[in-house]
Structure formats: structure tokens, C-alpha cells
Amino acid sequence: MSVGSQGARPVNPPAEHAEGALPRSYLRPCLLLMLAEGPSHGYDLLEQVRRLGLRGAEPSALYRSLRAMEREELVSSSWEMSGAGPPRRTYLLSDAGHRALHSWVGSLRDVQRLLVTMLDRYDNLVEPAATSRL
Amino acid sequence: MLRALYWRSEILQLLYWLRGEGLGDLVDAPLLERFLGVDAGTGRNHLDRLADEGYLDRDGQWFALSARGLEEGALEFATAFAELNRPAHGECSADCWCHVSAEEATACAAERQEDDRR
């Protein structure tokens, strides 16, 4: 049974379903990218990560990722003293972090190629059936 | 002993981080588990120990930084600050007195901050 034989082409699933399809460790390349764009703080990183598709990202996951990346020397951090309010931790990308980001992007491009191949095949399967119903 | 020191540092750093990011002042054992990956039972023991040592104030299952915990943080921030600024400090060299101890580093950092203000 082909997908097209089941009726109309399915509508796009809600955006939150897309989050589940992202690579399990997608948070890490996102953080590397954001820190390559410039030093940042925890809460700012969390907001940016959510804008990159990880809407359900939790502060605890962010904290653990940043600590792990610090241990691996991909990022470094320092306390930023502030006149008003408590000190905040500022994160910076190291040279090793830049290399890790480059490597991640290579892997993600490979995934992108695989996804495009799969989606093209899906479209070829569905579209002729959808067209034949017109 | 080393393990206790490690967890003291990890827990206090988490509390400073949460505070700095505006994410709250209180932690409990389940929160510790989510953020640090230490199981809640063990985490609770670490929290109780830190409260007994005076670094945390306890209110039922919740813990917050005490005045002593905050002082410990100030020391850490100043030391980290000193580390960052060391190369720019004209008088600070590889054998500068500030390398002797964390307390000396704090004093060195405070002195340099004072210099910057002038």
C-alpha cells in the first residue's frame, strides 16, 4: 500500500514534532555555533537554543552541556562582575571548540544530504498519487 | 575528603550560576540531580553537609546560599577575575605574590580593581 493511496497528503505535523526528529545531541552544535558568534551567558544561550528549534530545552540540560564542554576544553568561562546584580558566568569558545563546530557542521551536512534524499523519494511517492486525484 | 571538596565546589558553582542567570536562589536534591547528575539521595547528603558547614541555609527540603556561601563565591569570582586579568597587570609576573594562595590572588585582584578605578 502506498502512502498516496491512503487519501489526501498528510498535513505537516506540529512544529514540536520536528524537535523530536533532531539529532539527540543537537544542543551541542547549537551551543558551539552561538559561542562562535560571540561570548554569551547561560540564559541568553537558552533563549537562542529555543529559537534554533529546541523549544523544550531546559536550563539543566544547558548547564550540563556547558560543564561537559568546559571539561573537554571546548569552551572556557569566567565570572563577569556586574555593578548591579550578582556575577554571571560568561562562556567563550576555544580553538578546540571552533574545530569541534567545524566537525559538527560536516556531520550535519551529511545528515542533511541523507534527509534530502529520503524526502525526495517520499515526494516522488506521494506527489504522483496526489496529482492523479486532481 | 577530595570528593566532598569536589561536590562543595560543584554545588556552590551551580547556586552562583542560577543566581547570576536569574533562575532562582533555592535548590533541592531533585534539582541537583537534574543539573549535576548526582542521584537525589547522595545530593541530599551533600546539601546537608554544606548546610552543616555553614555554606548553605536550610529550609525544609530547600537550600540557599548563606552569608558564608556568598563569601566563598566572592573569593572564587575574584580569583577567576585575577586569572583573567593577570597578563594585563604590569606588576604581576610569574613569581608575583598573588600566586601564593587564593587569598593572595583575591587581594591582588582587589588591588588591581582599585587601580583601575583611579
* Judgement on whether residues B52 and B15 belong to the same structural domain of the protein: yes
When pLDDT is cut at 50, 70 and 90, the band that residue A29 belongs to is: very high
Q: Domain total for chain A? A: 1
Which pLDDT value is given to residue A8?
Answer: 47
Query: How much is the mean pLDDT over chain B?
Result: 78
Domain that holds residue B53: 2-65
Question: CA B86 to CA A5: how far, in whole Å?
Answer: 71
- Residues of B (59-98) whose Cβ lies below 8 Å from A: 73, 76-77, 80-81, 83-84
CATH of residue A30's domain is: 1.10.10.10
Whether A127 is covered by a domain: the verdict is: yes
Read off the pLDDT of residues B11-57 as tens digits, 9 standing for 90 and up.
Answer: 999 999 999 999 999 999 999 999 999 999 999 999 999 999 999 99
Hey, of A44, A46, A49, A60, which one would you mutate to test binding to chain B, going by the most B CBs within 10 A of its CB? A60
Q: In this structure, is the dihedral angle defined by the CA atoms of residues B22, A36, B31 and B5, taken in order, positive or negative? A: negative
Nearest to A87 by CA among A77, A96, A95, A97: A77
Boundary-marking domain end, from B65, B81, B99: B65
Q: Which positions in chain A touch B17 (Cβ < 8 Å)?
A: 42, 63, 89
Does residue A74 form part of some domain?
Answer: yes
Q: Is the pTM of this model over 0.80?
A: no
Q: Using DSSP bridges, classify how beta strands B26-27 and A88-93 pair: parallel, antiparallel or unpaired.
A: unpaired
pLDDT band at B73 (very low <50, low <70, confident <90, very high): confident
Helix (H) or strand (E) holding B26: strand B26-27
State which residue of chain A sits closest to B36, comparing Cα positions: A64
Residues 6 or more apart in contact with residue A86 via CB below 8 angstroms: B16, B19, B20
A24 backbone dihedrals φ, ψ, rounded to 5°: -60, -35
Which ipTM score applies to this complex?
0.75
Whether residues B42 and B18 share a domain: the answer is yes
**Using an 8 Å Cβ cutoff, are B39 and B60 in contact?**
no
Cα radius of gyration (chain B) = 17
- Please check whether residue A50 lies inside any domain of the structure: yes
Average pLDDT, chain A: 85
Q: What is the nearest CA distance from A92 to chain B, expressed in angstroms? A: 12
**What is the model's pLDDT at position A5?**
39
Cβ distance B6 to B36 under 8 Å? Answer: no
Alpha-carbon dihedral of residues B42, B48, B50, B56, nearest 10 degrees? 130
Contact between chains at B21 and A79 (C-beta distance less than 8 A): no
Output A32 or B111, whichever has higher pLDDT.
A32
